[in-house]
A = this chain, B = another copy of it.
Amino acid sequence: MRITIKDVAKAAGVHSSTVSRVISGKSCISQKTTQRVISVIEKLGYTPNALARSLKTKKIQTLAMLIPDIANPFFAGLARGVEDTANKYGYNVILCNTDDCLEKEANYLRLLAEKCVDGVILATAKIRDKSIIELERINCPYILLSRNIQGGQENSISVDDITGGYLATEYLISLGHCKIAHISGPYNTTAALDRIKGYKKALQDYGIPLQKIYLGEGDFRIKGGYQVMKQFLQLAIPPTAVFTANDLLAVGAIEAIREAGCDVPHDFSIVGFDDIKLASYLSPPLTTIRQPMVEMGSLAIIKLLERIEHKVSHPNILIKPVLIERKSCREIN
């Protein structure tokens, strides 16, 4: 049997409530008693039971993070920032991979509610998201990370995707491209939609007509980039440049281009999004829009803890993205 607070109390010749006070350190307990209790705790190797505690306090010092896939370097970066900062404040975090499957997500949310997590980082939100309604219903504090919801004015942290899309497209235009395609993320995410908006706005600002055939829906993964790029390659007039909604899509697109016997950046210029750690080591080193993943994760926790402690909401936070120039683009005439 595990040592309990009562065992400690008995061995120290005090009442269990006194031991509790010593541990919490909030009440005034005499030096002598404190010493005695502490030494007994150490001698017995006592570990408090946080579950029992939480039954009273309603706090378990545990958060959860829902993401599509931890094997995706972007989400791994977010997770790193989230976990680090949570740990710094004494919280643990439960990791949940949803694969963008609504059913899995709902199941996770049920489990997490049963376990009384103090808050949730949701990095899977879709434009109209049932999970958020559920979170609101059970009154669970949450922060939307990197994927906010349509018309949601609160509690989200993300990069300014419109500006990011604009920057990427404008850069390609500045290089002389006018046949610029875009491989987007899934249309049910605002991240994808906003990057498209930025893409369209840049084209418009520079007087380049939007070609519907140059816009393809991807999945934020290598495979999707590969498939959509294959379609672009079969066009009568293929694009000369492609802006992809994330770096993995860019990897897939480059693969398709190589397979077709063409070269990046000679035949096609590519701009990605995210700036994952390995982006500079890819072939060719990828020009991309940087998202500060670790910092975003960290900020999400800080905002989440504020929500938990002060029961407040936050206006959305928009982070300015930056273009990182490498070697996947070239100037054309």
Contact of B94 with A62 in the complex, beta carbons under 8 Å: yes
Contact of B95 with A79 in the complex, beta carbons under 8 Å: yes
Which residues of B lie under 8 Å from residue A95 when comparing CB positions? 79, 83, 93-95
Contact of A115 with B92 in the complex, beta carbons under 8 Å: yes
Query: A89 CA to B77 CA in the complex, in Å?
Result: 27
Given A84-B97, A96-B92, is A71 in contact with B277 using a C-beta cutoff of 8 Å?
A: yes
Contact of B282 with A137 in the complex, beta carbons under 8 Å: no
The residue of chain B having its C-beta at the shortest distance from the C-beta of A97 within the complex is B83
Query: A67 CA to B83 CA in the complex, in Å?
Result: 12
Which residues of B lie under 8 Å from residue A294 when comparing CB positions? 71
Could you mark each residue 66-86 of chain A with 1 if its beta carbon is under 8 Å from any beta carbon of chain B, else 0? 000111010011011001100
Residue from A73, A76, A90 with most neighbouring chain B CB atoms (10 Å): A76
Which residues of B lie under 8 Å from residue A69 when comparing CB positions? 80
Query: Taking the complex as formed, is A260 at the interface, i.e. its CB lies under 8 A from any CB of chain B?
Result: no
Query: A58 CA to B115 CA in the complex, in Å?
Result: 14
Query: Taking the complex as formed, is A47 at the interface, i.e. its CB lies under 8 A from any CB of chain B?
Result: yes
Which residues of B lie under 8 Å from residue A283 when comparing CB positions? 281-285
In the assembly, how many copies of this chain are there?
2
Could you mark each residue 100-140 of chain A with 1 if its beta carbon is under 8 Å from any beta carbon of chain B, else 0? 00001000101111111000000000000000000001100
Contact of A97 with B73 in the complex, beta carbons under 8 Å: no
A-B contact pairs, 7 of them (CB 8 A): A48-B114, A49-B55, A49-B114, A51-B54, A80-B97, A95-B95, A222-B277
Contact of A255 with B277 in the complex, beta carbons under 8 Å: no
Which residues of B lie under 8 Å from residue A281 when comparing CB positions? 222, 251, 254-255, 282-283
Contact of B50 with A114 in the complex, beta carbons under 8 Å: yes
Query: Taking the complex as formed, is A209 at the interface, i.e. its CB lies under 8 A from any CB of chain B?
Result: no
Query: Taking the complex as formed, is A45 at the interface, i.e. its CB lies under 8 A from any CB of chain B?
Result: yes
Which residues of B lie under 8 Å from residue A96 when comparing CB positions? 83, 87, 92
Which residues of B lie under 8 Å from residue A138 when comparing CB positions? 47
Selected from B52, B71, B77, the residue in CB contact (under 8 A) with A55 is B52
Contact of B277 with A50 in the complex, beta carbons under 8 Å: no
Selected from B73, B83, B92, B115, the residue in CB contact (under 8 A) with A51 is B115
Query: A116 CA to B115 CA in the complex, in Å?
Result: 12
Query: Taking the complex as formed, is A149 at the interface, i.e. its CB lies under 8 A from any CB of chain B?
Result: no
Query: Taking the complex as formed, is A60 at the interface, i.e. its CB lies under 8 A from any CB of chain B?
Result: yes
Which residues of B lie under 8 Å from residue A60 when comparing CB positions? 51, 115
Could you mark each residue 218-241 of chain A with 1 if its beta carbon is under 8 Å from any beta carbon of chain B, else 0? 000010000000000000000000
- Could you tell me the distance in whole angstroms from the C-beta of A143 to the nearest C-beta in chain B? 17
